[in-house]
Structure 1
Amino acid sequence: MSAARRASVRRARPSLLTLLGTLPATAALLVTGTGTAAAAPPPAGETIRPGQAWMGAGTRIEQPAAGSAAVSPMDTSGVQGIDVSHWQGAINWNSVKSAGIDFAYMKATEGTTFKDSRFGANYTGSYNAGLVRGAYHFARPNASNGATQANFFASNGGAWSRDNQTLPGVLDIEHNPSGAMCYGLSTTQMRSWVNDFHTAYKARTGRDVVVYTTASWWNSCTGGWTGMSAKAPLWIAHWGVSSPNVPSGFPTWTIWQYTATGRVAGVSGDVDRNKFNGSMSRLLALANNTA
């Protein structure tokens, strides 16, 4: 290539900022201070395609303004945790641990085919940093029956071992971010779906699955079903309030996701923050399946 031609190519080549400016919001990149790129999740109001969802993707349809509320000191006391997916990009788990975070859940699977691209790095990195960690499955009840998705989850990150650092897996079942709120299922069908997921997961792992949901979704889509109250610890999502609303089918909450706009050292941008309803010894009891 001649010198004149090379100069022409250099002049024609767009800058990185120009390229980023041409991307839609769903594909834009946020460059962190460490040079690690994390994809920006689709903006509120935009349809979340299967495979793109994260814990809280449906919750923000119900609670669109709650994330902007100030987090009170009471919320950030006690045993603190975060939940993450590929949307957070690369995470410095040692910094997360140093920031006072004791536990973390990360997305492993969704539906019947999607596996989170950051799961392996998050699962191993959080363990090596000394956090108590676990995996979650974003449910797509319109894609298959509950047992099929439970087995897919257990085979791709949702398994459990008594190693003092592994929490039981989570069934993330919330407002459908891609369509009808209850995925087109009746309350009876949804109860069966959840029960089938729980039964299959317990058969594979020996553990009761943790249920992540909102009071509004559970009461509407299962009819306030009490059938999981004696089997599944409840992870409740209720943002920006001093105490969460609990679905009528559960006596209390075990984990509370209190904000979707938290900040933690080691994580770029917003991250869900959570609180465990008990002491660190009780969190370890949940991890190790002891009384």
Structure 2
Amino acid sequence: MLNVRRTTGGLRAATLIAMALGVLLAGVPASAAPQPDSDTDNGWAGHGAAHGRTGARAAAAAQPTGYPINGIDVSSHDHAGSKTVNWAAQRAGGDEFAFVKATEGTSYVNPYFDQDYHGAKDAGLYTGAYAYGRPDLGDPAGQANHFVNQMQWSTDGRTLPPFLDMEWPYASLNLPACYGLSQAAMRSWISSFLAQVKTRIGTTPMLYTNVNWWNPCTGNSAAFGQYPLDISSCNSAPPSVPGWGANWTFWQYEIDACERGATRDYDVFNGTLADLAALAGGGSVVPLSVVGGQAVVHEGYTSVFTVNAADGHVQETYLARLGGAWVTQDL
């Protein structure tokens, strides 16, 4: 999976881990469950029927130490009761990134997606979209296509890879914890969705989940480790997840279901700000051996790495796929 880190020594060099495409598996039959037709309890990252809502609320958890790059994820829930998200204030408060729910199923679109997606980007945050997975509705490729059609994917250097949100069904669906699918059918559905997104945008998407859902519903599957992981956990540290171990990329460490008084879903990134920028750039493999002027073809652009003679830093000169201009930056 992708867990980007910088190495330090005589110079700072970029080390990004390759993101491989999983095997495309057959989809599963669609069920008769209805498509969501309103924005009421329509699901958002970190929430679902299995989350408890009882007990006294304490203070919201502080940002975990050792992970200074923080952000939030939002959905229509963040607009309940005429609430809004003040993205300029979020940026001024230190947020570096945001994820916004875009779709669910093959027809629902978050009515606040465009507002929040562009609000976050305009405020200077690295921004990504996510889809709430509905395996009970079948048609994983159709749900993936609907997601890609709505999520406004861009190779602008500010767009984070999108993620598929796999968790407990929200209560109003009255569905079993695993959407009524067998473990094999669930693995097939997830694979097909992710593969279709990869085919459409040319960048490896991410997976969001929690171990209390993932392990029983996929059979502790370790088959998805090539996809970056966004792990949700109220624990003091994220749990080990089959296929990833502790190599997560984002950690959603605080949600209201943690019952600590959180008013939003809070996240941290497992890396530096330069790593986050690289992830938004769509890079794939950048081994240390490229230092010295060799060209490297990424998923979204081409880079040449050289050593700055003046200060010893690695410099990246890249040609954006949609830009056409060479840009140089220190890493």
Task: Name the CA shift for 1:73/1:103 in 2 (closer, same or farther; >3 Å).
Answer: closer
* Structure 2 equivalent of residue 284 of structure 1: 277
Structure having the higher helix fraction is 1
Picking from 180, 184, 198, the partner of 1:202 is 198
Whole-angstrom CA distance in 2 between matches of 1:65 and 1:229: 34
Task: With the length of structure 1 as denominator, give the TM-score of the two structures.
Answer: 0.75
* Structure 1 equivalent of residue 68 of structure 2: 78
Deviations 1:131-150 (A, max 9, x none): 00010000110112211111
Task: Name the CA shift for 1:208/1:77 in 2 (closer, same or farther; >3 Å).
Answer: closer
Task: Name the CA shift for 1:62/1:162 in 2 (closer, same or farther; >3 Å).
Answer: same
Please say if residues 236 and 246 of structure 1, whose CA atoms lie closer than 8 Å, have aligned partners that are also in contact: no
**What number of residue pairs does the alignment pair up?**
233
Task: Name the CA shift for 1:210/1:192 in 2 (closer, same or farther; >3 Å).
Answer: same
Unaligned runs of 5+ in 2: 1-34, 287-331
- Equivalent residues in 2 for 1:122-201, closer than 5 Å: 122-157=116-151, 159-177=152-170, 178=173, 179-201=175-197
Deviations 1:8-67 (A, max 9, x none): xxxxxxxxxxxxxxxxxxxxxxxxxxxxxxxxxxxxxxxxx9351111222x72455698
Whole-angstrom CA distance in 1 between matches of 2:63 and 2:195: 39
Which letter does structure 2 place at the counterpart of 1:88?
A: D
Whole-angstrom CA distance in 2 between matches of 1:281 and 1:245: 25
Which letter does structure 2 place at the counterpart of 1:257?
A: Q
Please say if residues 249 and 270 of structure 2, whose CA atoms lie closer than 8 Å, have aligned partners that are also in contact: yes
Secondary structure of the 2:214 match is helix
Whole-angstrom CA distance in 2 between matches of 1:282 and 1:249: 22
Picking from 87, 93, 114, the partner of 2:87 is 93
Whole-angstrom CA distance in 2 between matches of 1:208 and 1:68: 38
**How far is the alpha carbon of 1:99 from its aligned partner?**
0.5
Whole-angstrom CA distance in 2 between matches of 1:117 and 1:156: 11
* Structure 2 equivalent of residue 111 of structure 1: 105
Please say if residues 74 and 100 of structure 2, whose CA atoms lie closer than 8 Å, have aligned partners that are also in contact: yes
Secondary structure of the 1:135 match is strand
RMSD, aligned CA:
2.2
Please say if residues 79 and 278 of structure 1, whose CA atoms lie closer than 8 Å, have aligned partners that are also in contact: yes
Whole-angstrom CA distance in 2 between matches of 1:62 and 1:170: 21
Whole-angstrom CA distance in 1 between matches of 2:181 and 2:59: 33
Whole-angstrom CA distance in 2 between matches of 1:172 and 1:201: 13
Whole-angstrom CA distance in 2 between matches of 1:91 and 1:282: 26
* Structure 2 equivalent of residue 221 of structure 1: 217
**How far is the alpha carbon of 1:249 from its aligned partner?**
2.7
Aligned-residue sequence identity (percent) comes to 37
Query: Stretches of 4+ moved more than 6 A in 1?
Result: none
Whole-angstrom CA distance in 2 between matches of 1:77 and 1:273: 12
Deviations 1:52-100 (A, max 9, x none): 1111222x72455698565145358510010001221222111110010
Secondary structure of the 2:244 match is coil
**How far is the alpha carbon of 1:105 from its aligned partner?**
0.3
Whole-angstrom CA distance in 1 between matches of 2:202 and 2:91: 29
Please say if residues 60 and 254 of structure 2, whose CA atoms lie closer than 8 Å, have aligned partners that are also in contact: no
Task: Tell me whether 80-89 or 69-78 shows the greater mean CA deviation.
Answer: 69-78
Task: Name the CA shift for 1:69/1:95 in 2 (closer, same or farther; >3 Å).
Answer: closer
Whole-angstrom CA distance in 2 between matches of 1:275 and 1:288: 19
Whole-angstrom CA distance in 1 between matches of 2:240 and 2:43: 23
Secondary structure of the 1:219 match is helix
Please say if residues 170 and 210 of structure 1, whose CA atoms lie closer than 8 Å, have aligned partners that are also in contact: yes
* Structure 1 equivalent of residue 308 of structure 2: none
* Structure 2 equivalent of residue 29 of structure 1: none
Please say if residues 108 and 136 of structure 1, whose CA atoms lie closer than 8 Å, have aligned partners that are also in contact: yes
